[in-house]
Structure 1
Amino acid sequence: MTVKLESETYPDTYFAGAYWGPRKEPPEECARRAADFLNLLAKCDPFLAHWYMPTKSRKDARKYPLMPPDLTTLAEMFRRGVNREKGGPVFEDLGFSFWFDNGGPDRDCADLRIHCGGYAEGFSNSCFLSLPKQGANAERLFTAPALDCVVRSMALAWEPEWVAAMSRTHRDLDDRDGKADVWLGWVTYLARHRGTVPPLPAPVRIEPVEDKGTLIVLTPERFTVANPEHVALARRVRELLERAGLMKPATS
């Protein structure tokens, strides 16, 4: 597999994703978690403090604000996102989906895709945040402190098994064959019940997230796959985490 490196003409793009296994929750509980997450996310950066209900046209993108979060509105949005065959019954064990963004133009927009309440065997729930592709907002968010805040917000609100914030080229490098159970991001969170994070080489930073789990930040500067030292560090950290049994698939 050939991994494309970042360049001046085609900048890399970043995301943060939280993942957890089967967890039966009604739309109201998904709404509560989503509201908690949006309120926490708003404290990370002003760009992440404005969200809007999905619309058919970009010109209407800012007509229906979701901030401050309203539990009744969010619960109804999740309820509408139930999984079903067209004209057929609802698949309750597949949970609810909800997609929305912050109303910006294509390359300066963030969007959220949330799947919550699924409890089918082997099912994976998730909260996936795509960050802007370029511009001042992107540059401000593509930093360790900003992604640290985003990952903590996901961990506290969703109580996931794991969270990774990283670039897409980094993901492709970390998961070359598409079989990785857990991505090791620039910033990673691992739930406490997965096990104890072992000592990791400098400059890696390890911090608790309340009593829920552990945050791992690979480098204080922007992690890039164009830097061989960053790549070597990520491989070594993955080896140590795998050896400690921390990179297994989500189960709860």
Structure 2
Amino acid sequence: MIETYYAGAYWGVRKESPEECGRRAEVMFNALSTVAPDFSRWLKSGRSRKEALNRPIETDRASLTKMFRRGKDRLFDELGFRIDGWNGASDDEASSFLLSVGMYSERNTNVCVFWLPSPALDGREGPNSQRVLTAEVLSGLVRAMAVAWEPEWAIATSHSHRALIPEPHPERLWGWVTYYSDRVGRVPPLPAPVRMERVEDKGTLLVLTPERFTASNPEHVALADRVRVLLDRAGVLGPPSP
């Protein structure tokens, strides 16, 4: 089974200006540039790959603010701003992102999502997926999102593991690398080999396994389920979604 991976940060109503979103995005991109070379250069979308390769995203605050202004929802102010980009790598080796932020509609969630490089359909891995799909790099990615956007929670895991979580989903999920803000509750002690790290004075980062976490590994799934029970008892996951 070929597993694909993503990372995302999520938070509720937060009305913010393009300038504030630009400031937060600058913090995130500056941090990401030190995490892995895959996250040090970003490009705008284009009508063709050739066009997109000549459309770099400048990650300073002023340039990002302009992008957010252009990405404003034209009909509803409460839907905030939306920008996206990718890193120019080819096919499955690419990383891309979407920022949908500054929203203050009760019906929507602010999100920062990254789609990560993945093995090819024949199972072979390129250098990008080998480099990015590690506990160290994904911890750095989740930490950068947490510091910049101050979300309620954030996660980096495989789509296959997420598919194992039964409906209705709780308000907050869990996976290979997960962050919970102190605002949603205190993370309880967790069993080895789970690693717990503080993220400044904001929250707690969890890493389930030092090796790559996969939904095809029964031991990994069992560990994740034990962690889920403890997080649920502590109230960190919240009630099921309606």
- TM-score in terms of structure 1 length: 0.89
Matched, 1:64 2:55: yes
Q: How many pairs align?
A: 233
Aligned mate of 1:91, from 71, 76, 87 = 76
Q: State the partner residue of 2:123.
A: none
Matched, 1:47 2:38: yes
Contact 2:44 2:56 in 1 (8 A): yes
- Would you say the 8 A contact 1:22–1:122 is kept in 2? no
Alignment gaps of 5+ in structure 1 = 1-5, 85-89
Indicate which of 91, 105, 110 corresponds to 2:95: 110
Contact map agreement 1:83 1:92 (CA 8 A) in 2: yes
- CA RMSD, 1 decimal: 1.3
Shift of 1:100: 0.8
Distance in 2 between residues matched to 1:178 and 1:31, nearest whole Å: 34
Cα drift, residue 178 of structure 1: 5.3
Measured against aligned partners, the alpha-carbon deviations of 1:76-131 in whole angstroms (never above 9, x if no partner) come to 221222223xxxxx311111111111112121111010011001124310100001
- Identity rate of aligned residues, in percent? 51
Deviations 1:158-213 (A, max 9, x none): 1000000001101111x332523212010000001211111111111111001000
1:38-83 alpha-carbon deviations (Å, 9 max, x no partner): 111111101110101222211122212224x132321222122222
Of 102, 108, 118 in structure 2, the residue corresponding to residue 133 of structure 1 is: 118
- Normalised by the length of structure 2, the TM-score is 0.92
The SS at the match of 2:112 is strand
Q: 2:212 aligns with which of 212, 215, 222?
A: 222
**Which stretches in structure 2 are left out of the alignment for 5+ residues?**
120-125
Distance 1:172 1:178, change over 3 A: farther
CA distance in 2, matches of 1:32, 1:63: 24
Alignment of 1:243 with 2:233, yes or no, is yes
Distance 1:77 1:106 in 2: 25
Cα distance in 2 for partners of 1:57, 1:76 equals: 23
The answer to whether the 8 A contact 2:3-2:214 is kept is: no
Query: Which whole-Å CA distance do the structure 1 matches of 2:63 and 2:47 have between them?
Result: 18
